[in-house]
Amino acid sequence: MTDVVRLDAVSKVYGKGRAAVAALREVTVGVPRGTFTAVMGPSGSGKSTFLHCAAGLDVPTSGSVRLSGTELSGMNETRLTELRRERIGFVFQMFNLVPALTVTENISLPLELAGARTDRAWLAEIIRRVGLEGRARHLPAQLSGGQQQRVALARALVTRPDVVFGDEPTGALDTMTARDVLGLLREVVSELGQTVVMVTHDPIAASYADKVLFLADGRIVDSVTSPTADGIARRMTGLGAWTR
Ligand SMILES: Nc1ncnc2c1ncn2[C@@H]1O[C@H](COP(=O)(O)OP(=O)(O)OP(=O)(O)O)[C@@H](O)[C@H]1O
C-alpha cells in the first residue's frame, strides 16, 4: 500500500535556548491510503504538533513531510495553502462552519475558494452519505451539533482530498452523537476508500480506527492495530495519561 502521509525524522522545536521545547522528536511514520489512524497520547505529548506538521499547517524544524509523494518542506506559504485547500480535508472540534451560508453552500465552499467546478452528483452523494438530504437549505444555527459536524465532514470530503485530518472531531459532541459521527468516519474509509487521521483523547473514538499511534514526549512510543477501547485505555494508563 502507498503512504498518503509520510513523515521521516520529523522534529519540531518551539522557542530557543533554555526556553526551547521539543514537541516532536525524530518522528518517522507512514499512513497508508484508505486507512483510519487515530493519534493518542497524554496532554502535551505532541499530538496537535504532529497533526499540524503532517497537514502543512506548521513547518517542522527538521525532517521530511510528504503528501502523496510531494515534499512539503521548502514550499512557500502560497503553495502550502493551495495544497491544503485542494488535497487535505479538515474536521475540527468546533465545526467551524460559516453561519450565514446554508448547508450546501458550506459544503461547496472549498470548491468555490479553489475556483473549481462543483460536481453536482458528488455533492448530492456526500450530502446523502452524511444524512443531510432535507437539510440542504438550512443554516448551521438550525442544526444540532452532530448535524453541524456532518456538514463539516461533507465539506472536508467535497474536494476528494488525499487525506482528512480530524482534531478531536467528536470532542464537543455527546456520547451517542459522537458515535454516529465516528461511524460515519469509519464508513468513508471503508466504503469510499478515504484516508483519515484523527487526534483524540477518547479510547472509544480511537477504537473506530484501523490503527492507533501513541505519542509520549514527542515520540511515537507504541502502536496498536485493530484496537479495542479497553486495550487503548490500558496503553494510555501505561503512558500515565490519566494520572493528572
Ligand atoms: N506555539 C508553541 N510555543 C511553545 N511551545 C509549544 C507551542 N505549541 C505547543 N508547544 C509545546 O509543545 C508540546 C506539545 O504540544 P502539543 O499541543 O502538540 O501537545 P498535545 O499532545 O496536542 O496536547 P493536548 O492534548 O493538551 O492538546 C507541549 O509541551 C507544548 O507546551
Task: Say if CB 36 and CB 186 are below 8 A apart.
Answer: yes
Question: Does residue 23 have its Cβ closer than 6 Å to ligand 1?
Answer: yes
Q: Is the CB of 241 under 6 A from ligand 1?
A: no
- Give me the pLDDT at residue 115, please: 87
52 CA: nearest ligand 1 atom: 18
| Ligand 1 close to Cβ of residue 21 (< 6 A) | yes
Q: Residue 172's closest CA among 201, 194, 196, 130? A: 201
3-state secondary structure of 76: coil
Residue nearest to atom 13 of ligand 1 (CA): 23
Nearest one of 193, 207, 194, 196 to 236, comparing CA atoms = 207
Question: Measuring CA to CA, which residue among 152, 189, 149 is closest to residue 37?
Answer: 189
Residue whose CA lies nearest to ligand 1 atom number 1: 14
pLDDT of residue 180: 92
Closest residue by Cα to residue 150 from 140, 160, 159: 140
Residues 6+ apart with CB under 8 A from 138: 102, 103
Residue 46 corresponds to which cell in the numbers above?
505532541
Nearest CA to 196 out of 46, 35, 59 is that of 35
Judge if the beta carbon of residue 166 lies within 6 A of ligand 1: no
Distance 167 CA to ligand 1 centre (A): 14
Is the C-beta atom of 44 inside 6 A of ligand 1?
Answer: yes
Q: Which atom of ligand 1 is nearest to the CA of 50?
A: 18
> What are the strands of the beta sheet with 3-14, ordered from one edge?
21-32, 3-14, 62-67, 70-71
Sheet of strand 211-216: strand arrangement: 88-92, 163-167, 196-199, 36-40, 211-216, 219-225
Query: From the CB of 108, is ligand 1 less than 6 Å away?
Result: no
Q: According to the model, what pLDDT value does residue 238 have?
A: 86
* Burial group, residue 99, by CB count within 10 angstroms (0-12, 13-18, 19+): exposed
SS3 state of residue 123: helix
Q: How far is the CA of 240 from the centre of ligand 1 (A)?
A: 17
Max Cα separation, the chain?
A: 57
The confidence score (pLDDT) of residue 95 equals 87
Q: Around Cβ 43, how many Cβ atoms within 10 Å?
A: 8
Q: How far is the CA of 216 from the centre of ligand 1 (A)?
A: 12
Tens place of pLDDT for every residue, the chain, 244 residues? 689 999 999 999 999 999 999 999 999 999 999 999 999 999 999 999 999 999 999 999 999 999 999 999 889 999 999 999 999 999 999 889 999 999 999 999 999 988 888 889 999 999 999 999 999 999 999 999 999 999 999 999 999 999 999 999 999 999 999 999 999 999 999 999 999 999 999 999 999 999 999 999 999 999 999 999 999 999 999 887 665 4
- In this prediction, residue 114 carries a pLDDT of 85
**pLDDT for residue 244:** 46
Q: Are 134 and 124 in contact (CB under 8 A)?
A: no
CA atoms within 13 A on the CB side of 96: 15
Domains and their CATH numbers in the chain: 3-238 (3.40.50.300)
ipTM score: 0.97
Q: CB of 43 closer than 6 A to ligand 1?
A: yes
